[in-house]
Amino acid sequence: MNTSMQRVKHSAKAALFYAGVVLISIIPLFVFAWMVMTALKTQMENLAVPPRLIFHPTMDNFRDVLMGRSFGKYLINSFIVAATAVGVSLIVGLPAAYAIARYRLQKIGLALLVARMVPFISYLIPWFIVFRMLHLVDSYAALVITHLIIALPYVIWIMINFFENVPVSIEESARIDGASYLQAFLYVILPIVRNGVFTASVLAFIFSWNQFLFSLILSGRNTMTVPVAVFQFISYDQINWGGLAAAATVITLPPLVLTLFIQKYIIRGLTSGAVKE
Amino acid sequence: MVDRHVKYLFPLPALIVMGIIVVFPVGYNLVLSLHRWNLASGGTLSFIGLQNYASLLHDERFWNSLRVTALFTVGALGGQVVMGTALALFFHREFKGKALVKAIFLFPIAATPVAVSLIWAMMYNYDLGIINHVFTTLGLPRLLWLAGPRSVIPALIITDVWQWTPLIMLIVLAGLESLPGDPFESARVDGASGFQTLIYLTLPMVRPSIIVAAMIRSIDAIKTFDLIYVMTQGGPNIASENLNIYIFQKGFSYFRMGEASTLAVVLFTLVLVFNIVLAMLRNAGANQL
């Protein structure tokens, strides 16, 4: 009798808890749902008062966005800039992170943290002046260089954290087997931290993909990245909500999908650099 | 001897690249802050010492931007830390679907800020937005949200809290999950109530995670740009113009590079001081334990 009462009480509590879980989870999801719904509505439906929850979904907005206004080119631009920035960050950042972790070069680590506190605009003003002088505004070089400011410190931080968990003895035994330092690093150490390399690459890619301020000033007709393109649509086509929402959906999709792959490591990745002194 | 290869050669390329992309602009930024230079009128660089800094004292738009920065940062960071910690405590237990919940909470963090800001701007629309529609349905008055000088900062804070509470929640949750079980077991044996355990045990123990989360978030909150620029561009008038937006306008609408650089130095100082204070808070806590 008593135990069945307790069981009822227990399951009522569990049901209440799950109701809370669902209600809380709706909050982050709602905005994305609204974005997709707006993208699937016609202009008429988007201007309807009150806003409609039931409607005939149409793919017209997505078709218009992907076909028209060189949006495909902007997607490719974003991809080129992000992929190049990540590639360069890995090439120069991985060995640096390993040395910092291996020899506890903590001053470099601290300098990286301070670099992150510098407002992007402090980097942008000088670089804008330089690129303007060199006629490099609206070039991939200008975008990649500034995006490196975000990607490189991040790759180094995340990787310091992962390299610190690799015992020094592994490098030493590879050395005894006759490997050079570079060989030991490339063929023995790096494979051990491949999850870290993947996490760092994905996070740096997302940061570059989402970057707005540098690209707003330094990109142009030829190199415009997707966040800037969407922002330009707003000023020029303010009332076309369906089209805007479709563009927003298309640019948000890659980062959302990518995070799912690094779910296990993402919090460790985002907090590295701040956790240690 | 050979060891030095790794120690000095491995970090070398990164140091050179960082020197060019980071150290050079920061130095140039400092130098520019001591000059008058209007890029638009093609004027030349003229050294004026600390005049740019001195004139900030009488620059009302600067003080307005500081006020907006402070209000926005305190509101957004406060909301995120309180709600993020509360949610972390709520989710700190084993249940089916926990992995799914964590995945859902990653979405706002990863989403492109420009896209998120755009959708929120639509939702805040006075006539057509879903938020005012829900308000009227509930019998509440329609609000101007982004269009009102008084409501614009709270509206921006709500959006920022929506986007970044999950980050704090996930960091604190990771902190909670890594706590040792023993103290909680003894507290239970000693008959501590759930509330007592929370106040005297859980919160003090998870405090370092909360402060780290606040530090990470504060670095970006003080410098917020995308959200405000996309949603209001600092408006109406200058009601939501934080320091970063003001610097942007100075530099890229008026092309006053010296003054913009001066403001950028001030912004960096703000971020640095705020983080030193938080780091001291964290270390003070560590010594107590």
Which amino acid is residue B181, in one-letter code? G
Location of structure tokens 């601290």:
A110
User: Over chain B, what is the mean pLDDT?
Assistant: 90
Q: pLDDT value at position B244?
A: 96
Q: pLDDT value at position A88?
A: 97
Domain CATH code at residue B65? 1.10.3720.10
Q: Are B128 and B139 in contact (CB under 8 A)?
A: no
- Candidates B14, B115, B216; nearest CB to A271: B216
For A160, residues 6+ apart whose C-beta sits below 8 A from its C-beta are A97, A100, A101, A109, A272, A273
For B109, residues 6+ apart whose C-beta sits below 8 A from its C-beta are A259, A270, B163, B164, B166, B167, B170
ipTM attached to this prediction: 0.90
Taking residue A152's Cβ as centre, other Cβ atoms within 10 Å add up to 26
Q: pLDDT value at position A98?
A: 92
Residue B192 located in a structural domain: no
Residue B44 located in a structural domain: no
Min CA distance, B200 vs chain A (Å)? 23
Q: pLDDT value at position A273?
A: 58
Higher-pLDDT residue of A271, B235:
B235
Q: Do B226 and A213 touch (CB under 8 A)?
A: yes
Residue B4 located in a structural domain: no
Residue B279 located in a structural domain: yes
Residue B198 has pLDDT above 50, yes or no: yes
Average pLDDT over residues B77-87: 96
Residue A265: domain span: 70-230+249-271
Residue B1 has pLDDT above 50, yes or no: no
Q: Are B162 and B155 in contact (CB under 8 A)?
A: no
Taking residue A6's Cβ as centre, other Cβ atoms within 10 Å add up to 10
Which amino acid is residue B122, in one-letter code? M
pLDDT category of residue B4 using cuts at 50, 70 and 90: low
Q: Are B151 and B222 in contact (CB under 8 A)?
A: no
Residue B38 pairs with which residues in a beta bridge? B256
Per-residue pLDDT of chain A (277 residues; tens, 9 = 90+): 567 777 787 888 888 999 999 999 999 999 999 999 999 988 878 877 777 777 888 888 898 888 876 888 999 999 999 999 999 999 999 999 999 988 888 788 788 878 888 999 999 999 999 999 999 999 999 999 999 999 999 899 889 888 988 888 888 888 888 888 888 889 999 999 999 999 999 999 999 999 999 999 999 889 999 999 999 887 766 678 888 999 999 999 999 999 988 887 877 777 765 544 3
Query: Would you call B95 an interface residue with chain A, using a CB distance cutoff of 8 Å?
Result: yes
CA A112, CA A96: separation in Å to the nearest integer?
12
Residue B26 located in a structural domain: no
Residue B143 located in a structural domain: yes
Residue B43 has pLDDT above 80, yes or no: no
Min CA distance, B23 vs chain A (Å)? 9
- Candidates B39, B115, B268; nearest CB to A251: B115
Restricting to B residues 30-49, those with a Cβ less than 8 Å away from any Cβ of A are 32, 39
In angstroms, the Cα distances linking A67 to A75, A252, B191 are 12, 18, 67
Min CA distance, B215 vs chain A (Å)? 8
Q: How many helices (H) and strands (E) does chain B have?
A: 15, 2
Does the bond joining B183 to the residue before it have cis omega, within 30 degrees of 0?
A: no
Residue B223 has pLDDT above 90, yes or no: yes
Q: Are B262 and B176 in contact (CB under 8 A)?
A: no
Q: Print burial letters for B1-25: b (CB count within 10 Å at least 16), e (below 16).
A: eeeeebeeebbeebeebbeebbeeb
| Coil, helix or strand at residue B131 | helix
CA B287, CA B282: separation in Å to the nearest integer?
9
CA B172, CA B175: separation in Å to the nearest integer?
5
| Coil, helix or strand at residue A244 | helix
Which residue does chain B place closest to A144, by CA atoms? B21
The HSE-up count of residue A173 (CA atoms within 13 Å, CB side) is 7
Higher-pLDDT residue of A13, B3:
A13
And the tokens for A184?
A: 């030991």
Residue B59: domain span: 51-179+206-288
Q: Are B126 and B142 in contact (CB under 8 A)?
A: yes
Does the bond joining A28 to the residue before it have cis omega, within 30 degrees of 0?
A: no
Residue A267 located in a structural domain: yes
Domain count, chain A: 1
Q: pLDDT value at position B286?
A: 59
Q: Are A229 and A148 in contact (CB under 8 A)?
A: no
- Write down the pTM of the prediction: 0.91
Residue B199 located in a structural domain: no
| Coil, helix or strand at residue B46 | strand
Q: Are A189 and A169 in contact (CB under 8 A)?
A: no
Min CA distance, A175 vs chain B (Å)? 11
Restricting to A residues 53-92, those with a Cβ less than 8 Å away from any Cβ of B are 88, 91-92
Query: Would you call B90 an interface residue with chain A, using a CB distance cutoff of 8 Å?
Result: yes
Q: pLDDT value at position A115?
A: 82
Higher-pLDDT residue of B120, A57:
B120
* Closest by Cα among B118, B59, B23, B111 to B249: B59
Residue B16 located in a structural domain: no
In angstroms, the Cα distances linking B38 to A115, B26, B33, B45, B260 are 27, 19, 12, 8, 10
Span B121-177, pLDDT tens digits: 999 998 888 899 899 999 898 889 999 999 999 999 999 999 999 999 999 998 898
Higher-pLDDT residue of B106, A265:
B106
For A197, residues 6+ apart whose C-beta sits below 8 A from its C-beta are A90, A94, A159, A162, A190
Q: pLDDT value at position A83?
A: 97
Q: Are B103 and A263 in contact (CB under 8 A)?
A: yes
Q: Which of B21, B107, B112 to mutate to test the interface with A (most CBs of A within 10 A)?
A: B112
Domain count, chain B: 1
